[in-house]
């Protein structure tokens, strides 16, 4: 986006809960004094909306406002105990498909941490809508819970392209893809493979891959070595908070959530109800999110003016809120806000980065699908509940499969092969994955319904004797197995 001279950009503002209205008012005041080309449209979301009976915490009027404006800024939103079902924050991300979460992490002047002087200046780019955060969970038995980790090729490509686009917009030199591909070879491995596929399109940017636990380790050992880190949803949630802790904590951390049709900017911290209404809140995080908003709409000069005023205020240490000032020397929100306004037009010794418009690829409005050249149905996994020992279960299932098109390939328990016996010492729970392989794989050519009768026959035989929860087809795409094997399978 770019600013049109003399025209203001309309933005939906969600004051939120707790200290939210206070930091929103302070942010709006600073932007107004700096001449930011923003017109606010205030809307509701959060605790009070839940209390009115909404199960999402976001009323239709607010959704319509964000949809019309395409831009929102929000303070912290609460889900009060006893109200609502889903987080209002998650509702907004999902509803508008805000797939890219951008978390800048930069050492700020005047804020002392164990890492002060190391020159930390990085961005965590987190996929925002997939992974285990899809929230697809089931109790398989009374003792076994399942959460499905869903990652898609388009989802991985979108977030990796967003990371490279951000690197170009901010003049950064490296994008590091962080995954757990050494363990989750299909899901996290998809992110790694997509990173390797996309990287050659950006020859001016150095690319790399790092295992996520090593990434967390290296963030503590040498955080200054990182520039842009892109990763999946849960990984990003964890390491972005870790990284924020290196430069002063969540209280000063901003973020943006970007999608094809909308963008939302927010403070990362919570609503701090213990100090709400006391005029003590620190607006730095939301103000920093507003600076990100201004750059998103192309208002680079006013964004730099506000950022430099914030840097000067932090560096000089006058009129800082209690969370930033030495004990007993903190001031209220109004005094801190006034100090930033007084510093508008001044420049600190810490320069602002040079920014250009962030260009994201717009994805087509269709159901994403990629058909392989060939696919074969090679077997099924049947997940069942029983208190039998593995060897007895195996003997009974082998007998059930004798006159079927299948053979029992093996049984696993929590991902570890337990039948045929391996000699290991696996603790068993009442949830077994029983793998049956077709004696002859079935090519799936036209209807893809081949093999259904055979599967139904076997499952009916199993169901007459055991309680089963679900079935997974085992397929082979373009000659490659599209499934993993349990640990210890021979």
Which residue of the set 74, 94, 180, 192 is catalytic?
180
227 is catalytic: no
CA distances from 320 to 39, 281, 334 (A): 28, 10, 10
The tally of CA atoms less than 13 A away on the side-chain side of residue 142 is 2
Q: Which residues contact 418 (CB under 8 A, 6 or more apart)?
A: 390, 411, 412, 424, 426, 428, 432
Which residue of the set 149, 206, 213, 355 is catalytic?
213
481 is catalytic: no
| CA–CA separation, 238 and 252 (whole Å) | 17
Q: Three-state SS for 471?
A: strand
Interior angle at CA 288, CA 8 and CA 178, nearest 5: 115
Residue 277: count of CB within 10 angstroms of its CB: 11
Alpha-carbon torsion 267, 106, 247, 36, what sign? negative
CA 88 to chain centroid, in Å, comes to 15
237 is catalytic: yes
133 is catalytic: yes
Burial 330-356 (b: 16+ CB within 10 A, else e): bbbbeebbbbbbebbeeebebebeebe
Which residue of the set 237, 323, 381, 419 is catalytic?
237
What secondary structure, in 3-state letters, does 380-422 show? EEEEEECCCCHHHHHHHHHHHHCCCCEEEEEEEECCEEEECCC
20 exposure class (CB count in 10 Å sphere: 0-12, 13-18, 19+): buried
Which residue of the set 94, 131, 133, 164 is catalytic?
133
Q: Catalytic residues, which ones?
A: 133, 180, 213, 237
């Amino acid at each position: 986006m770019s600013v049109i001279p003399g025209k203001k950009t309309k933005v939906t503002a969600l004051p939120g809960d707790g200290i939210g209205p206070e930091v929103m008012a302070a942010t709006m005041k600073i932007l107004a004094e700096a001449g930011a080309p923003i017109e606010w449209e205030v809307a509701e979301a959060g605790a009070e909306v839940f209390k009115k009976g909404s199960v999402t915490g976001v009323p239709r009027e607010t959704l319509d406002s964000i949809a019309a404006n395409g831009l929102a800024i929000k303070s912290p939103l609460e889900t009060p105990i006893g109200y609502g079902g889903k987080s209002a924050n998650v509702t907004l991300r999902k509803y508008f498909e805000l797939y890219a979460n951008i978390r800048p992490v930069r050492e700020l002047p005047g804020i002392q941490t164990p890492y002060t002087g190391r020159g930390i200046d990085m961005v965590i780019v987190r996929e925002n809508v997939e992974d285990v955060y899809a929230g697809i969970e089931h109790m398989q038995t009374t003792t076994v819970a399942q959460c499905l980790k869903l990652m898609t090729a388009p989802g991985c490509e979108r977030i990796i392209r967003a990371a490279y686009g951000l690197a170009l917009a901010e003049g950064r030199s490296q994008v590091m893809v962080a995954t757990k591909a050494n363990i989750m070879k299909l899901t996290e491995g998809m992110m790694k493979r997509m990173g390797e596929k996309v990287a050659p399109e950006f020859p001016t940017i150095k690319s790399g891959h790092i295992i996520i636990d090593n990434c967390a380790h290296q963030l503590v050992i040498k955080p200054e070595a990182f520039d842009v880190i892109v990763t999946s949803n849960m990984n990003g949630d964890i390491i972005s908070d870790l990284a924020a802790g290196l430069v002063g904590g969540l209280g000063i951390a901003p973020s943006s959530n970007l999608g094809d049709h909308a963008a939302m900017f927010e403070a990362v911290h919570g609503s701090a109800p213990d100090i709400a209404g006391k005029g003590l809140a620190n607006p730095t995080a939301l103000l920093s999110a507003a600076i990100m908003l201004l750059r998103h709409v192309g208002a680079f000069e006013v964004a730099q003016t506000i950022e430099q005023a914030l840097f000067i205020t932090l560096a000089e240490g006058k009129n800082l809120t209690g969370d930033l000032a030495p004990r007993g020397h903190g001031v209220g929100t109004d005094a801190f806000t006034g100090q930033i306004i007084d510093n508008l037009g001044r420049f600190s010794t810490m320069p602002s980065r040079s920014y250009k418009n962030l260009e994201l690829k717009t994805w087509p409005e269709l159901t994403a699908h990629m058909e392989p050249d060939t696919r074969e149905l090679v077997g099924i996994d049947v997940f069942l509940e029983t208190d039998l020992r593995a060897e007895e279960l195996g003997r009974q299932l082998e007998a059930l499969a004798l006159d079927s098109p299948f053979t029992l390939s093996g049984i696993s328990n929590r991902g570890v092969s337990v039948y045929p016996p391996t000699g290991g010492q696996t603790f068993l729970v009442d949830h077994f994955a029983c793998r049956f392989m077709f004696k002859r794989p079935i090519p799936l050519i036209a209807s893809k319904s081949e093999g259904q009768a055979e599967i139904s026959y076997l499952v009916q035989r199993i169901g007459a004797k055991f309680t089963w929860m679900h079935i997974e087809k085992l397929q082979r795409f373009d000659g490659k197995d599209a499934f993993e094997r349990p640990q210890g399978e021979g």
